[in-house]
Amino acid sequence: MSTYKKRQFRLRIVSLLSILVFLAVWYVCTAVLRLAPAYSLPDPITVFQSFVTKLSSRVPDGATLPQHIWESFKIAMAGYLMGVVIGVPLGIAMGWVSWVEKIVRPVFDFLKPIPPIALIPVMITLFGIGIESKACIIFFSTVIPSIVNSYSGIKQTSQIHLWVARTFGASNLQQLFTVAIPSALPMIFAGLRVAMGVSWMGLVAAELMGATRGIGYMISTARNLLRADIIIVGLLTLGFIGIVISLVFDLIEIKFVRGGK
Amino acid sequence: MTMEKKKTVIEVRDVSKTFYNREGDHLVVDHLNFNVYENEFVVLFGPGQCGKTTVLNLIAGLELPTGGEVVVNGEKVVGPSPSRGMVYQTTNLFMWYNVMKNVEFGPCVRGVKKAERRKKAQYYIDLVGLTGFEKHFPVKLSGGMQQRVGIARAYCNEPDIICMDEPFGHLDAQTRYLMEEEVDRISASEKRTVVFVTNNAEEAIYLADRIILLHNCPTSVHREYLVNLPRPRNYVAPEFLELREQITKDMDDTIG
Ligand SMILES: Nc1ncnc2c1ncn2[C@@H]1O[C@H](COP(=O)(O)OP(=O)(O)O)[C@@H](O)[C@H]1O
Ligand SMILES: [Mg+2]
C-alpha cells in the first residue's frame, strides 16, 4: 500500500470509529444510565428494530417506510426539476441579456429574501395539503438558488475569455454556449446542490404541517402518538437520504463539471 | 529583406487613443504611425505601461482608436475579426476545454467539419510540441505548455495576422529561451504576419525582422531597427550584443 492509501485508510477507520463512539454514547445514556425515559429517547437497538419493522409495517401511520420515502421523493423531484428547468435558463438569460435582467431583477430581488418555509401556510390555503402545494414550495425553494447561481455565474464570465472568443469570430450565441455557460457551470452546479438541500428541507417542513403520506408526515404522526423510535427512524432516514443525494451530486460533478480546479 | 517589394498588411495611420475614465481623460497613444508588411515579424518594444497592449488591442480591433485609423488589408478595423489572431500576456485558454478543443476553437465557431478541424488542430498541436497532450485540461499544464496551446490556438484559425502580447512575460528564463526558439521555428515554417509585443530587448532582437521602439506613455514611434542577423540568432554574437546595448540605451532615453 502506498503512503497515500495508508493515510486514506487510517482516515476511514477514524470516521468509522466516530460513528461507533456516537452509537456507544447513545446506548450508554439510554439503555445503561437511563438518563431519559424510553418513550422520549429510545436506545439505538430499539430504534434499529423499529426501522426493520417499519420497512414493511404500515403501523402507526398507514404506510411503510419505503412508501413514505417514495412519496417524499416523488414530490421533491417534481418540484425540483420544475425549479431547475425554469430557474437555470432564466438565470442564464438574466446574466447574459441586459433587458431580461432589467425586467426580471426587481421582481426577483423582492422574492429572493422570502424563506420558502414561510410560503407553506399560503400554499396550503391555496392548494390544500396535496401534492400541488408541496410541489409549489419545492419549486420556489429550487428556482431561487438556481436563478441566483446561474445569474452570478454568467455575470462572472471573464471579459478576456469573451474577447478571445470574439477574436475567433464567435457570435453572441456562440460566446454564450462556448464561454459563458461552461465557465459558469461549476457555479450553476453548486446552485443545484444548494437547491436540492433547501427543497428537501422545505418538503419535510410542509409535510410536518399537513400531509397524508411522506417522511415528514410519518414524523409528525409519530410525535402525536409519542413514538420517539419512529421519529428517530425518520430523522436518520433524512440524514441518510441527504448523504445519498450528496454522493449522487459528487458523481455528476466528477463526470460533467471537469476542467476547473 | 527589401521592403519596397512587400505588400502592406497593417497600416496604423495617425492613431490616437484616449481612455475616458472617472479620474479624467488618459491619453495613451498619441499620433502613432507605422506599417507592417506581409509575412513580416515586427516586434513592438517599449517600457512597461507605455501602451503596448493598447496598440495591439487597437490592431486586433478589441479597442477602437479615438483618432486616426487602423487599416488591415485595405479595410478599416472596426472590431475583432478571425483574420487577426491574438496570443495573450496571461494564458487565456478555455479552462473547461481540453487542449484539442481549445486549439480547434476557431475552426469550430466558423463551422468547419469535425474531421477536418481535428486534423488541422492535430497539425498545430504537433507543431508546438504538445503531441500526446490533446486530452489534457489546461490546469494540468505548465505555464510554458499553456502558452504553446495559446499559440497553436491562434495559428489553427489560420489568420492573416497574429498578435502576441508579451506571451512569455510570466515564464522563467529557461522556459522563455525555449519558447523563443519555438516561435522562431514556427514562424519560419508557418509564414504569417506577426506583431509581437515585449519589453525584453533580447527577445525582441532574437525574433524580429524589424523592431519598433515605442515612446513612454502617451506613446508613439520613437525609432525603428531592421534586424538583419541570420537565424536562428546567437544571443552572444557581437552584432546581437551591440544592437541590444543600442536598443536598451534608446529605451532609457524614452523614459528619461
Ligand atoms: N481600459 C483602460 N482604461 C483606462 N486606462 C487604460 C486602459 N487600458 C490601459 N490603460 C492605461 O494605458 C496605459 C498603457 O497601458 P498598456 O497598454 O497596458 O501598457 P503596456 O502593455 O505597455 O504595459 C496604462 O497607464 C494604463 O493604465
Ligand atoms: Mg501590456
pLDDT in tens, B175-187: 999 999 999 999 9
Which set of grid coordinates corresponds to residue A143?
Answer: 428556482
- Asked whether residue A182 carries a pLDDT value surpassing 70, the answer given is yes
- Asked whether residue B158 carries a pLDDT value surpassing 90, the answer given is yes
| Full-model pTM | 0.83
How do residues B101-153 score in pLDDT, each as one tens digit?
999 999 999 999 999 999 999 999 999 999 999 999 999 999 999 999 999 99
pLDDT at A130: 81
Q: What is the mean pLDDT of chain A?
A: 90
- CATH number for the domain spanning B225: value is 3.40.50.300
Share of chain A above pLDDT 70, in %: 98
Quote the CA–CA distance of A223 and A219 in Å, as a whole number.
6
CA–centroid distance, residue A184 to ligand 2 (Å): 27
Residue A40 covered by a domain = no
Which set of grid coordinates corresponds to residue A56?
Answer: 414493511
**Mean pLDDT of the region A191-218:** 87
Among the bound ligands, name the one nearest to the CA of residue B26: 1
Which set of grid coordinates corresponds to residue B95?
Answer: 479552462
Which DSSP category does A30 fall into?
I
Nearest-CA residue of chain A relative to B62? A163
Phi-psi region of B61 (alpha: psi -120 to 50; beta: other; left: phi over 0): left
Quote the CA–CA distance of A132 and B141 in Å, as a whole number.
51
- Asked whether residue A260 carries a pLDDT value surpassing 80, the answer given is no
pLDDT at B9: 96
Which set of grid coordinates corresponds to residue B108?
Answer: 469550430
Domains identified in chain A, total number: 2
Complex ipTM more than 0.85, yes or no: no
Quote the CA–CA distance of A81 and B49 in Å, as a whole number.
51
Q: How many residues does chain A have?
A: 261
- CATH number for the domain spanning A136: value is 1.10.3720.10
Residue holding cell 436506545? Answer: A43
Mutate to test the interface with A, among B94, B161, B195 (most CBs of A within 10 A): B94
Chain A residues in contact with B138 (beta carbon < 8 A): 259
Mutate to test the interface with B, among A156, A162, A164 (most CBs of B within 10 A): A164
Q: Is the peptide bond before A113 cis (omega within 30 degrees of 0)?
A: no
- Asked whether residue B254 carries a pLDDT value surpassing 50, the answer given is yes
Quote the CA–CA distance of A139 and A77 in Å, as a whole number.
10
- Asked whether residue A258 carries a pLDDT value surpassing 70, the answer given is no
Residue A152 covered by a domain = yes
Residue B88 covered by a domain = no
List CB contacts of A10: < 8 A, sequence separation 6 or more: none
- Asked whether residue B73 carries a pLDDT value surpassing 60, the answer given is yes
Quote the CA–CA distance of B16 and B31 in Å, as a whole number.
5
Domain range holding A130? 50-256
Specify whether B98 is located in the same domain as B77. Answer: no
Cβ–ligand 1 distance for B199 under 6 Å, the answer no
Phi, psi of B199 (to 5 degrees): -120, 20
